[in-house]
């Protein structure tokens, strides 16, 4: 299944979660068995070399991140919303497209000096991904690559991540936001 065919499986929902926003909904892609498998195939081919683990951002980043980690035979590090992890964490507050939020990781799940590939379903302004990368670096990981299913380039997330030393790749782009 080509990237264009995968893009055609994304559902666009107008005015969600706020007026004027075109929400790119991945659930119609993942509910398609061929679409889900092909997405993970493409992502596996796009993974950089020498990756030791995959990190995914709650909740939709768990979907692609875990499937990709399993395909690559790597471990998965969950980047969670505040209060979900049962152990001592490191946390970061950040602004996202529509609100403010806090994410956390368990730093003991990351080995110092190992390359962790950051995965999420979609990059918009890049705020969540940047906060996640900073947390992974704070825990000692090398986090210099991020992989997304969807990029909304007009929102500048990929540029912002590049400025922080993070190479990004995505399977598809959508104009507008």
Question: In Å, what is the CA distance from 50 to each residue of 56, 60, 151, 153?
Answer: 18, 25, 24, 27
Q: Please list every residue from 45 through 84 that binds a copy of itself, using CB under 8 A.
A: 53, 58-60, 62-64, 66-67, 69-71, 73-78, 80, 84
Residue 59: which residues within 8 A CB-CB, separation 6 or more?
A: none
Residue 11 annotated in active site: no
Instruction: Characterize the bridge pairing of strands 90-95 and 100-105.
Output: antiparallel
Residue 173 annotated in active site: no
Is the CB of 118 or the CB of 158 nearer to a copy of itself?
118
Question: Could you say whether residue 28 binds a copy of itself (CB under 8 A)?
Answer: yes
> What minimum distance in Å lies between the beta carbon of 159 and a copy of itself?
26
| C-alpha to C-alpha distance for 61 and 120, rounded to whole angstroms | 4
CB 123, CB 157: distance < 8 Å: yes
Question: Could you say whether residue 8 binds a copy of itself (CB under 8 A)?
Answer: no
Question: Could you say whether residue 3 binds a copy of itself (CB under 8 A)?
Answer: no
Question: Could you say whether residue 174 binds a copy of itself (CB under 8 A)?
Answer: no
Contact flags string 110-149 toward a copy of itself, x per CB under 8 A = ----------------------------------------
Question: Could you say whether residue 1 binds a copy of itself (CB under 8 A)?
Answer: no
Task: Please provide the DSSP assignment of 63-109 as one string.
Answer: HHHHHHHHHHT-EEEEEEETT--SS--EEEEEE-SSSEEEEEE-GGG
| C-alpha to C-alpha distance for 135 and 102, rounded to whole angstroms | 11
Q: Which residues are catalytic?
A: 60, 97
Interface residues with a copy of itself (CB under 8 A)?
11, 13, 16-17, 23, 25, 27-28, 30-37, 40, 53, 58-60, 62-64, 66-67, 69-71, 73-78, 80, 84-87, 106, 109
């Amino acid at each position: 299944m080509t990237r264009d065919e995968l893009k055609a499986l994304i559902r666009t929902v107008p005015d969600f979660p706020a007026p004027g926003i075109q929400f790119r909904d991945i659930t119609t892609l993942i509910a398609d068995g061929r679409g889900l498998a092909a997405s993970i195939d493409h992502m596996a081919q796009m993974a950089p070399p020498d990756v030791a683990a995959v990190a995914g951002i709650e909740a939709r980043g768990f979907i692609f991140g875990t499937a990709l980690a399993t395909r690559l035979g790597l471990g998965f590090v969950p980047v969670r919303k505040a209060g979900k992890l049962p152990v001592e964490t490191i946390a970061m507050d950040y602004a996202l497209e529509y609100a403010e939020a806090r994410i956390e990781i368990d730093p003991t799940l990351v080995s110092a000096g190992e390359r962790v590939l950051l995965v999420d379903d979609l990059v918009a302004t890049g705020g969540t991904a940047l906060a996640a990368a900073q947390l992974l670096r704070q825990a000692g990981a090398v986090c210099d690559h991020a992989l997304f299913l969807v990029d909304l380039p007009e929102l500048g997330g990929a540029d912002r991540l590049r400025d922080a030393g993070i190479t990004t790749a995505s399977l598809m782009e959508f104009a507008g936001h």
